[in-house]
């Protein structure tokens, strides 16, 4: 899933429409024309009145940020979890050879330098020699080799082995250097090395699923885990040994608050500094002089899409006619208007509208109840007993949609879908489950009829891990069990190419097949609506969002509400 784009002229009005704060000063963040945006003016969001330091004021150490999250991490060993709650913490604890900068350009991080040779078949890396794990042990090429071997080990319970399995050979060339060879060019080769480096001296010989490092990680990133109070909060502390310099904030606290309404009350009470707003909170509950003075609000098309996914082993949903009928019964715009209050756009597949990989010859599925009825009748579903429910062979068409607790948008989306399918004669139950259990006990084990979930849209359009048949296994990302030989072949070919035009042809065909077979009902791409207390300085919105330089955020001394005692 990619955000690499065609060039086009971008005007000020477009920036203002797609990424603005409450003062109306905008910039392009949603990347609907990434390459155009790189050549156009990037307008930084202005801080609210009274919130900015004087030009002469320099960043200082100190202070704490309190952030709200609806989900608790499941595992803090990189690669062993696929939930966003875990990944957000992991990103602050570990380092990788490469990373994206503010403009989404690939730059060295733990690597001092890297080379791409032999037409993309050979990568050479030289690591920095000044990186220490938080226990003082140097980070070396041994750790990178351990990470590679761990990821290709079939006993490693990870959904992210695919990129590493594409490697033909790995070779250490020195204590702080290594090279990677591919049999043929691999489109995601550099993205592979944006994955975290694992500490060999901590994890070697351990059962990773039962390792103490899952809850007491040893990283080399800008922060360290100080405390994990199960079900309540995680406290991260600034690392004094971080090779790019100690973060300015002393602590980052993630408060686990599954209910968004409660989270918002905590924000208003001053017990949170940052959270993601609902559309209602963004549009109607955070306006006025005090909000304008004390808070910054942002709006940009998110890097994610929301979908209704079917368990394709369920007898109802094995039939493509049934899946298409359900999809055609859903009015996506009513969901966007009713649930998101207009803060989203419909989508046709697993890519972001406006990106080069997005197939703009397709249109979002339009609601057509009459056609949906015809398809269901063809599949043998009729109301034979007049009870208002379709049935086949004596079995009523009733199923359960699973959603995670705390995500009001998904819950309300399920309620609207429930109502719209009822008009078609389909009964829907809705079940909400706490996030960690939702992933571990239901998604990973395939214990669901259908679910509403969202995928992050990554910066390369390779969707192999989500859609290839080989990933349809317990704990795999293809948890709906989708299998299509043509899609498999297209995905394998596309990830071996560097020619963008040819890759687009292949990914366009993938989207056509997904549109025809509807293993997901692709619903919408929502706008992200974060809010941040205005005392935090150093926030510099860019193409990579606002969190890319989190370690450089700071609070003036006279505005610091918390101080960590030495």
pLDDT digits (tens, 9 = 90+) for 498-515: 888 999 999 999 999 999
Closest-CA residue to 551 (of 563, 532, 538): 538
In the predicted model, is pLDDT for residue 408 greater than 80? Answer: yes
Tokens 């859609």: give the residue: 467
Instruction: Return the bridge partners of 178, or none.
Output: 125, 172
pLDDT single digits (tens) 282-328: 999 999 999 999 999 999 888 899 999 999 999 999 999 999 999 99
Question: 214: which 2 tokens?
Answer: 């899952």
Lowest mean pLDDT among 20-24, 151-155, 350-354, 541-545: 20-24
274-276: strand order across its sheet = 223-229, 233-238, 251-256, 64-69, 274-276, 530-533, 295-297
**Average pLDDT of the residues in 532-558:** 94
Contact indicator for 493, 506 with CB cutoff of 8 Å: yes
What pLDDT score does 30 carry? 36
**Average pLDDT of the residues in 368-388:** 97
CA distance 522 to 416: 15
What pLDDT score does 81 carry? 85
Can you say whether the dihedral through the CA atoms of 433, 435, 436, 439 is positive or negative?
positive
pLDDT single digits (tens) 206-265: 999 899 999 999 999 999 999 999 999 999 999 999 999 999 999 999 999 999 899 999
3-state SS, 528-555, equals ECEEEECCCECCCCECCECCCCHHHCEC
In the predicted model, is pLDDT for residue 177 greater than 70? Answer: yes
Can you say whether the dihedral through the CA atoms of 522, 547, 211, 232 is positive or negative?
negative
CA distance 282 to 274: 13
Pairing relation of β-strands 398-404 and 427-433? parallel
In the predicted model, is pLDDT for residue 404 greater than 90? Answer: yes
CA distance 192 to 144: 12
Q: Which residues contact 212 (CB under 8 A, 6 or more apart)?
A: none
What pLDDT score does 300 carry? 86
Task: Give 545's pLDDT tier (boundaries 50, 70, 90).
Answer: confident
Task: Give 9's pLDDT tier (boundaries 50, 70, 90).
Answer: very low
Contact indicator for 89, 72 with CB cutoff of 8 Å: no
Torsion (CA) 313, 319, 325, 330 in degrees, nearest 10: 20
DSSP H or E stretch at residue 323: helix 320-329
Helix axis angle for 408-422 and 320-329, nearest 10°, is 100
Question: 134: which 2 tokens?
Answer: 């938080």
CA distance 110 to 125: 10
Instruction: Enter the pTM of the model.
Output: 0.80
**Average pLDDT of the residues in 71-89:** 91
Torsion (CA) 48, 49, 55, 61 in degrees, nearest 10: -60
Q: Which residues contact 11 (CB under 8 A, 6 or more apart)?
A: none
Instruction: Return the bridge partners of 344, or none.
Output: 526
Task: Give 7's pLDDT tier (boundaries 50, 70, 90).
Answer: very low
CA distance 563 to 133: 25
Q: Look at 25 and 351; give whichever has higher pLDDT.
A: 351
CA distance 532 to 554: 13
Task: Tell the burial category of 543 from Cβ atoms under 10 Å away from its Cβ (0-12, 13-18, 19+).
Answer: buried
Instruction: Return the bridge partners of 345, or none.
Output: 525
CA distance 312 to 327: 15
Instruction: Return the bridge partners of 179, or none.
Output: 124, 171
CA distance 223 to 227: 12
Question: 459: which 2 tokens?
Answer: 């910066």
Contact indicator for 147, 198 with CB cutoff of 8 Å: yes
CA distance 26 to 18: 8
Contact indicator for 84, 70 with CB cutoff of 8 Å: no
In 207-243, which positions are buried (b, 16+ CB within 10 angstroms) versus exposed (e)?
A: ebeebebbeebbbbbbbbbeebeeeebbbbbbbeebb
Contact indicator for 490, 218 with CB cutoff of 8 Å: no
What pLDDT score does 262 carry? 95
Task: Give 24's pLDDT tier (boundaries 50, 70, 90).
Answer: very low
CA distance 562 to 565: 10
Can you say whether the dihedral through the CA atoms of 44, 50, 55, 60 is positive or negative?
negative
What pLDDT score does 564 carry? 58
Contact indicator for 523, 413 with CB cutoff of 8 Å: yes
What pLDDT score does 565 carry? 52
CA distance 134 to 218: 6
DSSP assignment letter at 65: E
pLDDT single digits (tens) 116-165: 999 899 999 999 999 999 999 999 999 999 999 999 999 999 989 989 99
CA distance 223 to 337: 40
What pLDDT score does 46 carry? 32
């Amino acid at each position: 899933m990619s955000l690499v784009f065609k060039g086009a002229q971008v005007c000020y009005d477009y920036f203002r429409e797609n990424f603005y704060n409450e003062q109306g000063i905008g910039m392009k963040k949603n990347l609907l024309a990434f390459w155009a945006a790189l050549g156009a003016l990037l307008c930084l969001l202005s801080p609210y009145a009274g919130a900015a330091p004087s030009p002469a004021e320099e960043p200082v150490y100190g202070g704490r940020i309190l952030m709200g999250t609806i989900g608790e991490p499941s595992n803090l060993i990189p690669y062993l979890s696929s939930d966003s709650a875990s990944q957000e913490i992991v990103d602050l604890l570990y380092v990788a050879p490469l990373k994206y900068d503010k403009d989404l350009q690939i730059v060295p991080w733990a690597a001092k330098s890297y080379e791409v040779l032999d037409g993309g078949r050979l990568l050479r890396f030289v690591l920095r020699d000044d990186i220490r794990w938080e226990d003082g042990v140097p980070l070396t090429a041994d750790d990178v080799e351990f990470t590679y071997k761990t990821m290709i080990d079939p006993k490693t319970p990870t959904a992210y082995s695919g990129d590493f399995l594409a490697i033909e050979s790995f070779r250490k060339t020195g204590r702080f250097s290594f090279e990677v060879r591919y049999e043929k060019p691999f489109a995601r080769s550099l993205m592979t090395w944006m994955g975290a480096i694992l500490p060999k001296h901590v994890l070697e010989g351990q059962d990773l699923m039962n390792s103490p490092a899952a809850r007491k990680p040893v990283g080399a990133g800008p922060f360290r885990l100080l405390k994990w109070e199960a079900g309540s909060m995680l406290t991260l502390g600034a690392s004094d040994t971080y090779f790019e310099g100690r973060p300015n904030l002393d602590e980052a606290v993630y408060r686990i608050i599954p209910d968004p309404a409660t989270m918002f009350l905590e924000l208003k009470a001053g017990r949170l500094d940052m959270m993601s707003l609902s559309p209602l909170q963004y549009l109607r509950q955070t306006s006025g002089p005090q909000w304008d003075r004390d808070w910054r609000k942002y709006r940009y098309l998110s890097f994610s899409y929301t979908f209704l996914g079917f368990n394709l082993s369920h007898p109802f949903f094995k039939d493509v006619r049934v899946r298409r009928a359900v999809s055609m019964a859903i009015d996506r715009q009513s969901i966007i208007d009713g649930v998101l209050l207009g803060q989203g756009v419909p989508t046709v597949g697993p890519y972001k509208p406006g990106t080069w990989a997005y197939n703009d010859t397709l249109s979002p599925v339009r609601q057509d109840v009459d056609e949906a009825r015809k398809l269901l009748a063809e599949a043998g579903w009729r109301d034979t007993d007049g009870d208002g429910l379709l049935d086949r062979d004596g079995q009523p068409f009733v199923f359960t949609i699973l959603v995670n607790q705390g995500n009001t948008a998904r819950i309300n989306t399920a309620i609207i879908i429930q109502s719209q399918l009822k008009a078609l004669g389909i009964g829907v139950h809705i079940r909400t489950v706490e996030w960690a259990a939702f992933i571990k006990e239901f998604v990973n084990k395939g214990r669901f009829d259908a679910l509403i979930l969202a995928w992050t849209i990554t910066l390369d359009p390779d969707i192999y891990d989500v859609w290839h048949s080989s990933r349809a296994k317990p704990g795999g990302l293809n948890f709906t069990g989708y299998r299509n030989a043509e899609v498999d072949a297209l995905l394998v070919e596309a990830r071996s190419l560097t020619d963008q035009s040819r890759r687009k042809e292949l990914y366009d065909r993938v989207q056509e097949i997904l549109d025809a077979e509807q293993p997901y009902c692709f619903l919408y791409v929502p706008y992200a609506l974060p809010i941040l207390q205005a005392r935090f300085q150093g926030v510099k919105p860019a193409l990579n969002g606002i969190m890319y330089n989190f370690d450089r955020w700071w609070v003036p001394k006279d505005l610091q509400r918390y101080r960590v005692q030495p």
